[in-house]
Chains A and B, each alone.
Chain A
């Protein structure tokens, strides 16, 4: 998840508008567990992405969301028994343990609600990140009087996630070139972690000192930033904020009724 240089409608919005959009989606997502409302919310974010030509970037998160949904479903089925029984994890025909884990409607509802909530939040946050240059985020957070350490933390996390992925891939290749074959399946994955995690962590720790020094030497803690681009909200921002206000009012009205 990283800034993508593109000329989309969402890119052109003021960072504050985009931040309000993301914050609003997060707030509305936690206000309800109603499946229809959550589906509408997630759908609305996807519609915004499609309208801005950023849908393909959002699609990259779908495998993550699906695996998260599957894990949540398993967790709720194992821990919640509420409502009608829809089936069993272990068919009742199996001797001894048959029918041990009933799948109830309450468990499924909760898993779906949480998955939709995550999807809405993740998509909204991703739209913000891929359409906003990190330095614009830094300036925005500055103006919102966020502590500089938190801003830098966000910045570094955004910047170094892809670097770590790349470094991990490189280390994996280096070990494969040494005829390393940890095997397939979960056991293989666990065995394969050791020769990869150790160099990855050691190399990352080595970079941390230099990174901290660079941040200091470039004056990020000076607290007197002048944005090179003077971004100010335009008509599109005003229109977006009006639309968001209307949509939020409608959403809340439905929830309260």
Chain B
């Protein structure tokens, strides 16, 4: 590739401001950005900063599909996006991965999903076969070829969507949180693949909440806040910025406290013995033994399909054991009705939108409380909202809250019911580090009140940083249980975590 070609701008935004229909506050304000051929640009910023809107603007979607008030110019390959006939024409040059993987899976098998876009390109069959094989191998989804996309885990879905987009071989890739649900190894594989594509001339714009392995391959990092570009530079230059510092794990204002370690010998509030669960005869759990004490934070980690979610569903009766026993606060979870278990075990699902249906934040929290005690006053509702910092939003429509606020609302819904055990499925996915830290601060306070916290996560760093104990699962079994060291936990993690990006160990003090 000649230097002239390298310098050619393929994606340009000049003075772009945008206000969504029905809104008065601009989501983007005067964005100026030129991205050159073969460049990888990494855009980050806090939740609600305008990152996704920037993706929509850069791909021409705002102009062609959204309406609203748009100012400035967006060019793709030197041509104004308004001069493209429709998104189909833009799609020949630009591949977009949206943050909702599920909505981008159209077909009924994984192979079909990846192959179908290729069939629309009008290229020879042999080339299609080669590309199909290449992207499926590169994204690690060969084994999933015959699986139905809707049965995959979040991380697997993300890989399939990425493969389906990469297969199109577009000159420009715009990726909105493409690795949010991937573990460190899978994220590294994606990073390496993107670097290779960029070296071959593909231009990549990546938006991510958190700074992870993808930052290592970026030529430029852009920090966006309140709809404006706040800073542009290399990773080393950017780490001087206080806001970016807060977006990294090491910039978190909170770290696990050592003063409230669970007492040795305290009776377990959750006791699982030889738990076996079979779905249609296939064993998903194969003899689990686990005790969790009050005031303990336990992280359950493991690859997709290792049995984590199956395990936690036994705690509140959503699943019943095929064999073995599950005891929660002295109750037999195999036989007690779900409604009774819900008083003792609160379950926060990964996606808060799974449960939100009420007209106001307050009603949403009151729903669970009133299910337990129809005559209960509003005190627990207010206390829970105060705990999660949403009391001032009590009359707002729940779905109008930001992603981080909705996650906190989901936690409020559970803690208002005052359970002794709180179970969270991927509590920080989709949140920036600052929001994630806020969630973990809440959990720490709950732990200090003596509640047992069990969190399922694919993010080993989260477990290492915050949990007292890490339970590792693989193929339905617990393969390891380790206590986190109470001495300088963050320092230990920053220097030894295998998946940590290099900058995090060297640039910051642990606390």
Give the interface segment out of A44-52, A94-102, A118-126, A193-201: A193-201
Q: How large is the interface on B (under 10, 10 to 19, 20 to 34, 35 or more residues)?
A: 35 or more
Return the chain A residue nearest B349 by Cβ.
Answer: A174
Given the complex, which residues of B lie within 8 Å of A181, measured CB to CB? 337-339, 371
Minimum CB–CB distance for A127 against chain B, Å: 15
Given the complex, which residues of B lie within 8 Å of A194, measured CB to CB? 357
Return the chain A residue nearest B91 by Cβ.
Answer: A217
Given the complex, which residues of A lie within 8 Å of B121, measured CB to CB? 219, 226
Given the complex, which residues of A lie within 8 Å of B65, measured CB to CB? 209, 212-213
Given the complex, which residues of B lie within 8 Å of A170, measured CB to CB? 349, 354
Give the interface segment out of A84-92, A107-115, A151-159, A241-249: A151-159
Residue of A179, A181, A212 with most chain B CB atoms under a 10 A cut-off:
A179
Given the complex, which residues of A lie within 8 Å of B368, measured CB to CB? 178-180
B118 close to chain A: CB less than 8 A = yes
Given the complex, which residues of A lie within 8 Å of B346, measured CB to CB? 177
Q: Are A175 and B355 in contact (CB under 8 A)?
A: yes
Q: Are A210 and B104 in contact (CB under 8 A)?
A: yes
CA distance A212 to B61 in the complex (A): 11
Given the complex, which residues of A lie within 8 Å of B109, measured CB to CB? 3, 5, 133
Minimum CB–CB distance for A76 against chain B, Å: 37
CA distance A181 to B146 in the complex (A): 38
Q: Are A207 and B100 in contact (CB under 8 A)?
A: yes
CA distance A166 to B355 in the complex (A): 14
Given the complex, which residues of A lie within 8 Å of B117, measured CB to CB? 218-219
From known contacts A135-B112, A226-B122, infer whether A179 and B354 are also in contact, taking CB-CB under 8 Å. Answer: no
B254 close to chain A: CB less than 8 A = no
CA distance A139 to B121 in the complex (A): 14
CA distance A208 to B86 in the complex (A): 18
Q: Are B112 and A178 in contact (CB under 8 A)?
A: no
Given the complex, which residues of A lie within 8 Å of B148, measured CB to CB? 2, 162
Return the chain B residue nearest A180 by Cβ.
Answer: B371
Minimum CB–CB distance for A176 against chain B, Å: 5
A163 close to chain B: CB less than 8 A = yes
Q: Are B108 and A221 in contact (CB under 8 A)?
A: no
A contacts, CB < 8 Å to B: 2-3, 5, 133-135, 138-139, 155-156, 158-159, 162-163, 166, 170-171, 173-181, 194-196, 198-199, 202-203, 206-222, 224-228, 230
Listed from nearest, the 7 A-B pairs whose CB atoms lie closest are A219-B120, A207-B103, A217-B91, A179-B342, A178-B368, A179-B371, A216-B87
Between-chain CB contacts (< 8 Å), 22 pairs: A2-B108, A134-B112, A139-B119, A155-B106, A163-B102, A173-B313, A176-B339, A177-B346, A178-B355, A178-B371, A179-B343, A180-B367, A195-B357, A203-B353, A203-B354, A207-B103, A213-B65, A219-B91, A221-B86, A224-B122, A226-B119, A230-B125
